[in-house]
């Protein structure tokens, strides 16, 4: 099967992502930040929206559902089980709820659901193992990670470690364009990391040209995302935390980023 993927900006710094499977003629939106922006791309491509998979309950990921359902009444909505009551209070009817280890079909392929609590307590991500694709919502960003709003900080470290253990070639789509600020922060933590220096220069050029810096890959994140590197001796010494538990090193970095 051939998957076509369209990524486009929504709202101020969100991404919309549409997947289209030409064999089954199905089209999937990962989250629904903005109905108008998503409809514009669907129209331009000549695609009919058939599925929406939600990663977490935040308004900038679910507020487009109602508008899209008005245009595509048959669209099937899949929600994270731990947040389905909260989300359906906003969007109404839904079709399926998923949790850790579930598989969701899309045309001839399927995605595996991983629970990644931290940014929200019931956040899920979708992994297409065959196609090497990860839709990470607001858990993992290019060069960074989501704010930890609903769990203790070490829970987010566990969630990020799950994603970091996926194959390096997996392409990662995220909910927001935050790469520039993330890499600047990363370099302040790990100034000797040549790969962060190089990536920051590339990202500055992309942003200056008004271009997106995503998707990224798990391999690039392992090398340049300090939030996945809390077990690195260079980072631990820079924070005066040599030999510390990586979860506490992660927590220290996340707290510093919150104040940055």
Using CB under 5 A, list all residues that contact Zn ion.
58, 138
User: Measuring CA to CA, how many Å separate 187 from each of 33, 203, 260?
Assistant: 30, 13, 13
Report the residue number, 47 or 53, with the smaller CB distance to Zn ion. 53
Which of 174, 201, 208 shows the shortest CA–CA distance to 9? 174
- Minimum distance from CB of 50 to Zn ion (Å)? 24
Q: How far is CA 29 from the centre of its chain?
A: 13
CA atoms within 13 A of residue 180's CA, in its CB half-sphere: 13
Report the residue number, 20 or 56, with the smaller CB distance to Zn ion. 56
User: Measuring CA to CA, how many Å separate 223 from each of 15, 231, 233?
Assistant: 23, 12, 14
- Minimum distance from CB of 172 to Zn ion (Å)? 16
- Minimum distance from CB of 243 to Zn ion (Å)? 33
User: Distance (Å, rounded) from C-alpha 193 to C-alpha 202?
Assistant: 15
Cβ neighbours of 110 (radius 10 Å):
16
- Minimum distance from CB of 119 to Zn ion (Å)? 6
Report the residue number, 13 or 130, with the smaller CB distance to Zn ion. 13
- Which residue in this structure is represented by tokens 């070490």? 154
Report the residue number, 136 or 170, with the smaller CB distance to Zn ion. 136
- Minimum distance from CB of 193 to Zn ion (Å)? 27
- Minimum distance from CB of 65 to Zn ion (Å)? 15
Report the residue number, 81 or 110, with the smaller CB distance to Zn ion. 81
Report the residue number, 35 or 196, with the smaller CB distance to Zn ion. 35
Backbone φ, ψ for residue 66 (5° rounding): -60, -45
Burial letters for 57-85: b for 16+ Cβ neighbours within 10 Å, e otherwise? Answer: bbebbbbbbeebbeebeebbbbbbbbbbe
């Amino acid at each position: 099967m051939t998957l076509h993927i369209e990524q486009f900006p929504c709202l101020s710094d969100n991404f919309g992502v549409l997947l289209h499977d030409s064999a089954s003629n199905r089209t999937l939106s990962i989250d629904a930040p903005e109905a108008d922006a998503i409809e514009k791309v669907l129209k331009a491509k000549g695609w009919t929206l058939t599925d929406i998979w939600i990663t977490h309950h935040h308004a900038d990921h679910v507020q487009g559902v109602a508008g899209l359902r008005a245009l595509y009444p048959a669209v099937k909505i899949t929600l994270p089980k731990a947040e389905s009551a909260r989300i359906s209070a906003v969007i109404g009817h839904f079709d399926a709820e998923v949790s850790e280890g579930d598989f969701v079909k899309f045309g001839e392929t399927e995605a595996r659901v991983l629970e990644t609590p931290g940014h929200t307590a019931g956040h899920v991500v979708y992994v297409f193992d065959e196609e090497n694709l990860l839709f990470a919502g607001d858990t993992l960003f290019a060069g960074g990670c989501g704010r930890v709003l609903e769990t203790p900080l070490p829970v987010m470290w566990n969630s990020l470690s799950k994603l970091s253990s996926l194959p390096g070639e997996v392409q990662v789509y995220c909910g927001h364009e935050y790469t520039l600020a993330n890499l600047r922060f990363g370099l302040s933590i790990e100034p000797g990391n040549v790969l962060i220096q190089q990536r920051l220069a590339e990202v500055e050029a992309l942003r200056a040209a008004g271009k997106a810096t995503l998707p990224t890959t798990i391999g690039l994140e392992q090398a340049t995302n300090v939030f996945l590197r809390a077990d690195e001796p260079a980072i631990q010494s820079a924070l005066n935390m040599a030999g510390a538990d990586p979860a506490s090193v992660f927590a220290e970095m996340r707290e510093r980023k919150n104040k940055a």
